Structure 1
């Protein structure tokens, strides 16, 4: 309910007033309550407070927050939480990065989404199929199908075998842009020398 965020902040403030130091769970719970009630500025402020208090954060807590922001299509909060991970001394994980990319894609910020691909911004992380699928979906949302084709080539460079979901997203992107020759090449498995297997959804999309 909408009142949950007020109660969460009341409990958090009361603990500080009594000389108690709120822990990581307290901050994350309060931020989650604010986010669910669409009080996104308050949620971001709590993340900043978490960093100021130098709490020993962990990846699981941040991943939960970022995934929650992503599900609520709040890309600024997702990115803020991702940046806060680094400031808190917690290394971003593939789960958190992929969720942030998905959040950016839903908001049609495809260029930002591509810039957050693992290995582009975080050299210690290697993108997986979920990373590429999220990035391709971001390109599809903004009708940037040529970039999706380039991403497919990167999949091959990473020695990954394209999943059916990945292929479906790419084919749908080409079909929506009326890029029929590219869609046909994809159906025949000849794009970038990558062996792909379109699923039923992709075939239906291409035939429309």
Structure 2
């Protein structure tokens, strides 16, 4: 895209109309390369300075480049659209489809549906890509019912679904854990003569995985292989994530497999061990990943630490934290939360407080999970109620809203604190009365 900007910068003030075509190609290259939208603005400005008038293709490329900027992309795309309208450019179906893609990146499926309704009423007439893009937008928020209704609406308008549209619906089913709907849509594709591809099976298997239906997910994989489709590690990771820890390990055959497991494979396997507190297996997997020259991430180490914590191995969890720092892997808030939670096992509230402080010094922003981890560790010790109340006060200053765990820990701290203050007062009163009694019995001067 840097070459594209240089091309437009070299354009002179008097150019033929064919130069607009060249600029449109460059604009499309910017969008395909994932360049930021302000780069597109820069190119459009250079076109105007070269007396080149952007056309509807330019507008479509500009709107399309916004879809990678998240929530801000929607407002930016609308500004491009408003600028095109002022220049007398009527948005075509390609521009509208690009705008729907911006809605997907911003997870604004209601906006996408509204745009689709506007296209049906005022034009341009929506295409199958329009409905597919809108369904993909609904998939981003797990609104699988909306996505499937959109596909049915496309059929009612005489549009014949293709594999891309069905995959959008399957992806929505995956996001919404709608495994039954995914299975029905997959069967419907076969009946209509549409050959499901790897994406189709992976989405259906993922829907099963999110519902913890490992047997159904494995059956999806078997159907894919019987259909002559070549599996890949992404599909295997999807199915493994649906398995319990024993089946997750056996599925990949980490000691020898035709498909070499990647870091996601190990993350899924370690996460499966985490749920059952299988800390030995989690640490073995972590070491296996290192032997395969895979660099563990914060997710990998955090899952292994949680497995150690659930297995009653607080010291091993803290050793992992030290190894992360030694390997120049900066722990995040999830990692610190796992380490702090491990302190609850040995009632090491002082260690938990030290970890919490080191997290803040490292510039890692605390969240509710990390604060609750410290509160629970202090609650288990029952001797650090001042730290609990101080942490709760700091949460209020940081505008962190507590939950039931927070309230329980604070209530316990207040109970211990009141008892401590009452005991201190009783001891003080006893000391005063004992002193007065001794003074009354002493020799008179």
1:207 pairs with 370, 375, 378, which one? 378
- Length-normalised TM-score, structure 2: 0.35
Structure 1 regions of 5+ residues with no counterpart? 12-21
* Alignment map for 1:1-208 (pairs within 5 Å): 40=214, 56-67=230-241, 69=242, 74-83=244-253, 87-89=257-259, 91-117=260-286, 120=289, 122-189=291-358, 195=362, 199=366, 200-201=370-371, 202-208=373-379
Alpha-carbon distance in 2 for matches of 1:49, 1:109 = 32
Most deviating of 45-54 and 153-162: 45-54
> Structure 1 162/30 Cα, relative in aligned 2: closer, same or farther at 3 Å?
closer
- Helix, strand or coil at the partner of 2:235: helix
Structure 1 or 2: more helix by fraction: 2
> Structure 1 24/81 Cα, relative in aligned 2: closer, same or farther at 3 Å?
farther
8 A contact 1:117–1:131 mirrored in 2: yes
> Structure 1 142/183 Cα, relative in aligned 2: closer, same or farther at 3 Å?
same
> Structure 1 46/76 Cα, relative in aligned 2: closer, same or farther at 3 Å?
farther
8 A contact 1:187–1:198 mirrored in 2: no
8 A contact 1:113–1:135 mirrored in 2: yes
Larger Rg: 2
Q: CA deviation at 1:186?
A: 2.1
Most deviating of 48-57 and 172-181: 48-57
Give CA-to-partner distance per residue, 1:12-67, whole Å, 9 cap, x none.
Answer: xxxxxxxxxx9867876786687688775676588689889996321221122123
- Length-normalised TM-score, structure 1: 0.67
Most deviating of 28-37 and 178-187: 28-37
Alpha-carbon distance in 2 for matches of 1:173, 1:198 = 19
Structure 2 regions of 5+ residues with no counterpart? 1-177, 189-195, 380-445
> Structure 1 57/122 Cα, relative in aligned 2: closer, same or farther at 3 Å?
farther
8 A contact 2:240–2:252 mirrored in 1: yes
